[in-house]
């Protein structure tokens, strides 16, 4: 048995589904860089399956959170869905099932670290879900995606607030408490052009409440805002994904 065939069989075992059309699975794993280097007249990559899978993942996630939290508002459900289906979140799911090991990349993309790129990983995850939908139907795709989403439920309690934008949450909390509007200031910027590190502080009036770093000014500001929120709510804050966390409270008023 070839190495590639073993990888496909391991992936099928993880999915809990043996493909009737193995070609669909192979297509889902084929990045455009690999298809281009194959020199075929009509190179077959996973972009169409990614297009389909994007909608399938979105529908499954929407139903999953709708049924899991029937008491939540549309806004809260939208935040949960957005946090679970973001590019970063899907890339994490791809790594969790070792999809990064199975993707077929072109030599150039391989050398550039393509297996670690979140856009490639997220795209492959969506393509895989699309292939699973076509081969096994909606129920097969739903069982796969929901099985991965289950782990995100554990820290979420009924009296919690979902946050996927720390800056907006901090501003809302400060307004309700009658505090000064948060002000963000860039303190330093270091590193080569392709890998800059930004240090940002957030102040409430004259008081610096948090500092944090990030790969962009925007990311550093979000991280600083999250730190500020942690100074207010402490252990009531629990992360549920790479881009979202919850505050165990009935509302966003200060404790």
CA 84 to each of CA 107, 119, 149, 189: distance values in angstroms, whole numbers, following the listed order: 31, 15, 8, 31
Q: Are 222 and 240 within 8 A, CB to CB?
A: no
Residue 54 among the catalytic residues: yes
Residue 244 has which token pair? 């979202």
Q: Is 21 a catalytic residue?
A: no
Q: Active site residue: 54, 221, 226, 243, which one? A: 54
Burial class of residue 40 (count of CB atoms within 10 Å of its CB; 0-12, 13-18, 19+)? exposed
Q: Which of 45, 50, 100, 126 does the annotation list as catalytic?
A: 126
First-last CA distance in the chain: 61
CA angle 77, 78, 83 (to 5 degrees): 100
Helix (H) and strand (E) counts in the chain: 12, 6
* Catalytic (active-site) positions: 54, 126
């Amino acid at each position: 048995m070839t190495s590639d065939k073993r990888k496909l069989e391991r992936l099928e075992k993880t999915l809990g589904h043996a493909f009737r059309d193995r070609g669909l699975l192979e297509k889902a794993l084929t990045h455009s860089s690999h298809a281009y280097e194959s020199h075929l007249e009509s190179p077959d990559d996973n972009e169409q399956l990614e297009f389909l899978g994007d909608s399938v993942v979105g529908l499954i996630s929407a139903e999953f959170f709708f049924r899991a939290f029937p008491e939540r508002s549309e806004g809260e459900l939208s935040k949960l869905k957005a946090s679970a289906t973001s590019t970063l979140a899907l890339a994490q799911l791809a790594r969790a099932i070792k999809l990064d090991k199975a993707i077929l990349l072109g030599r150039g993309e391989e050398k550039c670290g393509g297996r670690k790129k979140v856009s490639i990983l997220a795209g492959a995850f969506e393509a895989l879900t699309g292939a699973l939908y076509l081969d096994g139907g909606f129920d097969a795709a739903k069982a796969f995606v929901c099985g991965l989403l289950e782990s995100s439920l554990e820290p979420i309690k009924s009296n919690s607030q979902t946050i996927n934008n720390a800056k907006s949450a901090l501003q809302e909390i400060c307004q309700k408490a009658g505090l000064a509007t948060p002000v963000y200031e860039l303190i330093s910027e270091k590193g080569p052009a392709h890998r800059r590190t930004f240090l940002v502080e957030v102040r409430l009036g004259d008081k610096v409440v948090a500092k944090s770093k990030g790969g962009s000014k925007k990311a550093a500001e979000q991280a600083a805002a999250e730190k500020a929120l942690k100074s207010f709510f402490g252990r009531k804050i629990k992360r549920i994904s790479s881009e979202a966390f919850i505050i165990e409270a009935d509302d966003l008023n200060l404790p």
